[in-house]
Structure formats: structure tokens, C-alpha cells
Amino acid sequence: MALLQYTDDTILCVQDDIEMAQNWKLLLYLYESISDLKINFSNSEVIMISQDSEKTLRYAEMFNCATGSWPIKYLGVPVSGNRIQISNWLPLEEKISRRLDGWKGHLSLGGCLTLLNACLSNIPIYSMSMYLLPKTILKKLIASGKDFSGRGVV
């Protein structure tokens, strides 16, 4: 069993064992009664690594929650048991483009460099701390920076 938590998000990774899952459900209900916190199962998902739809439905019914699919996003980064497709990285490029659009034409060259290097570089660095980004996405990020500065300086 593995547990990953951040503020109010929790990921439980358990073996494919119905009895163990029933015990986890009991523990979650006990946690609710002890802590006076409510687990929102309607905002929860069951995702099977094996992607066996029959088993996924069985677990989802047990926990009274939805089924999900890979990749998932955790803290803004796509997570998958398989290779992450380029299409899953496009929101990263779009996020940077949206941030840049509001500043176009309003900054000097120094302001552009400061914004690009100090602020916007942190968005892809966070993702790159876990994965190597595809070359296609890196090229798009560099092109966005060059387009923003209007001077080809990044």
C-alpha cells in the first residue's frame, strides 16, 4: 500500500484485493467518524493500472465513486504508468502562453527577461523535476519566449 497526500488530495495505491479494499473502505469511514471530516466519494475515482474495466467498475461500485483513466494530473503534472503523450503536455505550453499574453507590449527588454527567467521558467522546471519534457514541447516553450520578447532573447 502507498499513500500520497497534499492538502486535501489523497492517492491510495492498493493491491488488487477485494477484501483489502473493503477494509480500506471501513478505515475511511472510521476516519470520518473520528475526525468529523467528510470524504467526498463523488469527487473520487478508481483507476486500475491493469485497466481491467470489469474490476474497475467493481471497485468503483464498492467505493461509490467514478472510474478514471490514465494519465491523471497530480499537482498540475500528468502522471501515468505509460509514456506520457505530447498532447498531455500541451496544457503546460498553453499556461505559459496565457501568462505571457497579458504582458505583451507592456515591458522593456529588461522586464521581458526578468519575467521570462525569474517567473515563467519555474512553471516548466516544476514539471521537469519529474520528467524529461518532449523536444516538441521544449521547442514550443522556447518559441513562446522568443515571440514574447520580440527580440529573440530568452
Read off the pLDDT of each residue in 41-69 and give the average, rounded to a whole number: 89
- Mutual angle of helices 18-35 and 53-63, in 10-degree steps: 30
Instruction: Give the sign of the dihedral formed by CA 127, CA 67, CA 48, CA 16.
Output: positive
Average pLDDT over the chain reads 82
Beta pairing, strands 9-13 & 66-67: unpaired
Q: Per-residue pLDDT tens for 5-49?
A: 666 777 888 888 999 999 999 998 898 899 988 888 888 889 888
* pLDDT for residue 150 is more than 70: no
pTM more than 0.85: no
Write the CA distances from 12 to 4, 5, 45, 54, 69, integer angstroms. 7, 9, 11, 20, 15
